Structure 1
């Protein structure tokens, strides 16, 4: 009896070893589940700003199982008076990305939601804070070092609402070698009139050619009392300059109902690059 048991055990061990050898060189299987990971209030100690900064991050369904996989990244900006939690608490971001991954609207990606206070994402706008310097010198390098980001231009995207729509557009066209596509939602695209917050149209028109600039969508509600007129103005100037972009006018105001739909629309467009 002991000999029989021993033989069975040896056969099972051999079978397991054969299976392991056969699968050893295969790529990790993409596991689609109904869950993405939302990590809230993560921190970075900033030397540039002299304080601890927060961010939220969404990791795709298979991030912890496909440990050899690197992912596209979307930087998603909040508006004036908001913070890194806005897109999670008001924008339903976790569910929207979860559905988009599951329904293959876009390929699994990493989503980063930083806290920018009311800085307009530039240096000097709020109490002298050098937010733009912080973002480029510390924040983005830290994110793309600590998480498995595929940090090529064609896999880096940016979007934002209101003040964040300005910030996303400003970064996309001030650093056009860093992003492949930008989606502005009710963006303050005419800026605030200072050197550090110029009109996005002026930034784009300053280029001699537009061939290497990121793709661009401007999306604004027709009943938005804050930025509808400025979006129309920037759109007209970009048309005059011959800059190819997408301009969307639809019913809506400056609120989360509009921005949640805007994020859905942004994911559909980003999916055209990632799928």
Structure 2
């Protein structure tokens, strides 16, 4: 991304951050919501040595998790955007209902959905106030989740998705650690990076591989009216086509908002269902 584009991108993302900061404080008071086939546990915590603080996460569990105690489940790591937190997908993204419906309609097999808090770190080390978020994710968070909950920790049962900044984070993790995830879904992702060494274009990461056979399957989904990332998604898509990397690219009506991302989550769950059903 050019310097000018980077400045514009950061300005618009800062605007989104301000809007997100205006959320009602009551939004963070969720604790446990149980429905007929899904349990949402909110604001669970992990003490991070890497970050020097307590970190929060939300997690969705299928209700048979509590009765079928011998069963281990696939897992989806679902990442928020800039200005968001671990509650965004539950509150604004209606994730509990969407996951519940997907289970009920057998779109996807029962699985665990994990929604971490990443502040505004871009999911990398050093971007925000020197925080080593990427180190935290790999060294502390993922091992904690997969040892605390009954996660089937095989690559073929591990998925990652995210919106905007989280679309970058999901893509970055999927293609810098391709042995960890079988599939990645980017929703309005900042996939061209923002011009820093720690936040490179996803196309550059993928193109650096000599062959693509062992890389995760990849979907890029972006709204044609998105003022933030539509152009950069087009650029990355074109570079991946040129490199011969097989991927799914979706352009559809919509902009950089929750109406678009809720549909993205439905579509992501449909695709994940091809692996879990």
With normalisation by structure 2, the TM-score equals 0.87
Return the offset for 1:34: 2.6
- Residue in 2 aligned with 1:160? 162
Q: Residues 163-204 of structure 1, C-alpha deviation per residue, up to 9 Å, x if partnerless?
A: 000000000000000000000000000011111000000000
Return the offset for 1:81: 0.1
Instruction: Tell me whether 1:231 sits opposite 2:233 in the alignment.
Output: yes
* C-alpha distance in structure 1 between counterparts of 2:263 and 2:113, whole Å: 17
Runs of 4+ in 1 over 3 A off after TM superposition: none
* C-alpha distance in structure 1 between counterparts of 2:109 and 2:64, whole Å: 11
Q: Secondary structure, in 3 states, of the residue corresponding to 2:237?
A: helix
* C-alpha distance in structure 2 between counterparts of 1:226 and 1:194, whole Å: 17
Q: Is this contact kept in 2: 1:215–1:245, CA < 8 A?
A: yes
* C-alpha distance in structure 2 between counterparts of 1:224 and 1:179, whole Å: 27
User: Of residues 243, 246, 255 in structure 1, which corresponds to 2:245?
Assistant: 243
Q: Secondary structure, in 3 states, of the residue corresponding to 2:76?
A: strand
* C-alpha distance in structure 2 between counterparts of 1:201 and 1:264, whole Å: 25
Instruction: Tell me whether 1:121 sits opposite 2:137 in the alignment.
Output: no
User: Of residues 199, 202, 207 in structure 2, which corresponds to 1:200?
Assistant: 202
Q: Residues 3-62 of structure 1, C-alpha deviation per residue, up to 9 Å, x if partnerless?
A: xxxxxxxxxxxxxxxxxxxxxxxxxxxxxx833100000000000000000000000131
- Residue in 2 aligned with 1:189? 191
Instruction: Tell me whether 1:270 sits opposite 2:253 in the alignment.
Output: no
* C-alpha distance in structure 2 between counterparts of 1:102 and 1:226, whole Å: 35
User: Of residues 135, 138, 158 in structure 1, which corresponds to 2:140?
Assistant: 138
Unaligned 5+ residue runs, structure 1? 1-32
C-alpha RMSD over aligned residues: 0.6
- Residue in 2 aligned with 1:87? 89
Unaligned 5+ residue runs, structure 2? 1-34
Q: Secondary structure, in 3 states, of the residue corresponding to 1:62?
A: helix
Instruction: Tell me whether 1:69 sits opposite 2:57 in the alignment.
Output: no
Rg larger for: 1
- Residue in 1 aligned with 2:29? none
Return the offset for 1:126: 0.2
- Residue in 2 aligned with 1:214? 216
With normalisation by structure 1, the TM-score equals 0.88
User: Of residues 43, 51, 59 in structure 2, which corresponds to 1:57?
Assistant: 59
